[in-house]
Chains A and B, each alone.
Chain A
Amino acid sequence: MSNDIFFLAEFADGAPQRSALELAAGATELAAASGGNVVALAYGPGAGDGAAGLGAHGVARAIVLRDDAAPAITAGPAAVEAVRAASPLAVLAPATPNGRDLAAALVGLADLPAFGPVRAVRVVDGIVETEQATLQGSVVTTSRPVDGAPQPSVVLVLANTFTPTEAGSGTAEVSRAEASDHPFTLATIVESHPADAAVVNLEEATVIVAGGRGIGSAEGFGQLDELAAALGGAVGASRAAADAGWVPYQLQIGQTGKVVKPALYIGLGISGAIQHRVGMQTAEHVIAVNKDPDAPIGEFADLFVVGDLFQIVPKLTAEIRRRKG
């Protein structure tokens, strides 16, 4: 057993994803409290080439699970081998579909305690402690492993829980995980259909302008694009807008879409149903514009504007552009 903190580091095209940099920062924080090292479990296309670069973010060692374009779950058995060999104190995983698949592989194959998705994780007197909003945000719980539980604790971490540190100059020592042949490795991508247009990763946005049923059409999202551009942010949507085909599902925020935690969230024509709310309730600042004075979002927004978004949004975009000069 060690006091090391492992984290899952997803790569695409040889570059660490934002979740990897956030978890590198989180693992560094935890390792400072536990007195251990920070170790990355790298996977995804180009992970082998990019893993050494994690050293610039405080990572002492990187173990490359696999670095091809196969589904993330195929890296699960290698992750289990690496974790079994080192028995770290905790493994941080991004609370994304890929991160959850790998976390589940660890929990199921190595019989480990699982936490999350958490909004905070720390090491207190050598014990992992997590904080989670549960039951649609109506309860906040603190959890720990039971006495004598096997280590590591596997912790799903919500996006934006940790802030990536500025890149330094270090280099991580890179090794390759042993290949392992659990049936998880049998999943293969048999067809790939990339989108026609570029799709942003909402979890990386610090400002999100989201539209719902009230936007009314795909064209209606044009003015959201303008406002988001003026604010340096990205456009998101409710499930209703994605189901209607106005935006791709990658932009859906909520229980079955992305869980986001931007500094600023602006909800336009979104009623604020619980399923949407659980995807954005940890945003630092929430503004909503809705023509319905009784929309549920008016009960939890910081600023609630009752009015016609089609009138207000273009004027707001112009006003922000004017102030920014």
Chain B
Amino acid sequence: MKIVVCIKQVPATTAEKRYTDDLRLDRASAEAIINPLDEYAIEQALRLLDAGTVDEVGYLSMGPEQAGEALRRALAMGGESATLVTDPALAGADEWATAAVLAAALDKLAPDVALMGMASDDARGSLVPGAVAARRNLPLLSYGAELALADGQARIRRLSPTGFDWIAAPLPVVASVTDQVGEPRYASLKGIMAAKRKPLDTWSLADVGLSAEDLRSGALTRVTDARPPEAKPPTERIENVSADEAAAKIADWLAARKLV
């Protein structure tokens, strides 16, 4: 049984970010990390590997050449091998194009479970897992707080409006997990050393059987404007007053805005 975890390299959550003149995110200027929510997918896969439920964990990423660093970091946490799909034609790829490329690469890697984080830190559309499943003609199990594999089936525990459900589908599947699967492990020094010797393949668009024309220059959407958010009025502060006074001031503030 094999899991391939799809990971995305993103600018660090706290990094200064800016758009280039052609309205694309300037990915070269910001410190890059593994998308934090993808680390939970890695952790889930490695837990199933530790338990002997799966016997192979690999990684897949699409991005610029530097995204190889994110794959090395994932390999340092565990797992055997990694694949990076990188191609000049992929700069500025949107969710539709990203899903098309990942789906084509996954067709070649043929895992029992293609596992992803529930969203990316930088865009937060959460559409890639479902769009990959659509293209690969496979069931989707999304937003799992836990993933279980048994008897030719994958199951996820997913929040429902009032509690939770277990949702099942026959393997192979595409699945995504949330940050409820458990805290991601740190890479050990030994893991970091070992990761340097693990295989990391680099594939071009042609290697996964796609052309730039198939991807319509990488996007069906375009950003026409990028700007800082509207400035908010400065924060009003209440401090060094008694609790009675603070409560009265909050109530006045609410009343002035007709919120009570």
Q: Are A146 and B140 in contact (CB under 8 A)?
A: no
Question: Which residues of chain A are within 8 angstroms of B125 by Cβ–Cβ distance?
Answer: 100, 114, 116-117, 156
Bound-state CA distance A260–B183 (Å) is 25
The reply on B60 being an interface residue by CB < 8 A is no
Q: Are B238 and A306 in contact (CB under 8 A)?
A: yes
Q: Are B229 and A133 in contact (CB under 8 A)?
A: yes
- Bitwise, B231-252 to A at CB < 8 A (1) or not (0) is 0110111111101101111110
Q: Are A186 and B169 in contact (CB under 8 A)?
A: yes
Q: A114-B221, A193-B165 are in contact. Are A306 and B243 (CB under 8 A)?
A: no
Q: Are A264 and B254 in contact (CB under 8 A)?
A: yes
Q: Are A184 and B140 in contact (CB under 8 A)?
A: yes
Q: Are A101 and B161 in contact (CB under 8 A)?
A: no
The reply on A26 being an interface residue by CB < 8 A is no
A interface residues, how many (CB within 8 angstroms): 91
Question: Which residues of chain B are within 8 angstroms of A192 by Cβ–Cβ distance?
Answer: 160, 163, 165-166
- Bitwise, B197-235 to A at CB < 8 A (1) or not (0) is 000000000000000000011011111111111101101
Residues of A62-89 contacting chain B, CB below 8 A:
71, 73, 76
Question: Which residues of chain B are within 8 angstroms of A150 by Cβ–Cβ distance?
Answer: 220
Interface-facing stretch out of B1-9, B11-19, B106-114: B11-19
The reply on A218 being an interface residue by CB < 8 A is no
The reply on A138 being an interface residue by CB < 8 A is yes
Q: How many Å from the CB of B49 to the closest CB on chain A?
A: 24
The reply on A303 being an interface residue by CB < 8 A is yes
Q: Which listed residue (B17, B129, B131, B219) contacts A146, Cβ 8 A?
A: B219
Question: Which residues of chain B are within 8 angstroms of A97 by Cβ–Cβ distance?
Answer: 126, 142-143, 158-159
Question: Which residues of chain B are within 8 angstroms of A287 by Cβ–Cβ distance?
Answer: 250, 253-254
Interface size class of B (residues with CB under 8 A): 35 or more
Question: Which residues of chain A are within 8 angstroms of B248 by Cβ–Cβ distance?
Answer: 319
Q: Of all chain B residues, which has the CB nearest A153? A: B221
Q: Which listed residue (B14, B99, B259) contacts A108, Cβ 8 A?
A: B99
Question: Which residues of chain A are within 8 angstroms of B158 by Cβ–Cβ distance?
Answer: 97
Q: How many Å from the CB of A269 to the closest CB on chain B?
A: 15
Q: Of all chain A residues, which has the CB nearest B140? A: A73
Q: Are A182 and B137 in contact (CB under 8 A)?
A: yes
Q: How many Å from the CB of A321 to the closest CB on chain B?
A: 10
Q: A302-B233, A305-B250, A316-B247 are in contact. Are A139 and B19 (CB under 8 A)?
A: yes
Question: Which residues of chain A are within 8 angstroms of B233 by Cβ–Cβ distance?
Answer: 302
Q: How many Å from the CB of B111 to the closest CB on chain A?
A: 16
Q: Are B96 and A188 in contact (CB under 8 A)?
A: no
Interface-facing stretch out of B50-58, B62-70, B115-123, B185-193: B115-123
Q: Are A303 and B167 in contact (CB under 8 A)?
A: no
A-B contact pairs, 18 of them (CB 8 A): A12-B161, A103-B130, A104-B140, A105-B140, A108-B103, A108-B132, A117-B125, A133-B229, A135-B122, A138-B229, A140-B227, A144-B224, A183-B139, A187-B168, A190-B166, A256-B118, A256-B119, A306-B238
Q: List residues of B whose CB falls within 8 A of some A CB.
A: 11, 13-14, 17-19, 23, 25, 37, 94-96, 99, 103, 118-119, 121-135, 137-143, 145, 155, 158-170, 178-180, 216-217, 219-230, 232-233, 235-241, 243-244, 246-251, 253-255, 257, 259-260
A-B pairs with the 8 shortest C-beta distances?
A104-B130, A108-B134, A108-B131, A113-B220, A311-B243, A315-B247, A306-B239, A191-B166
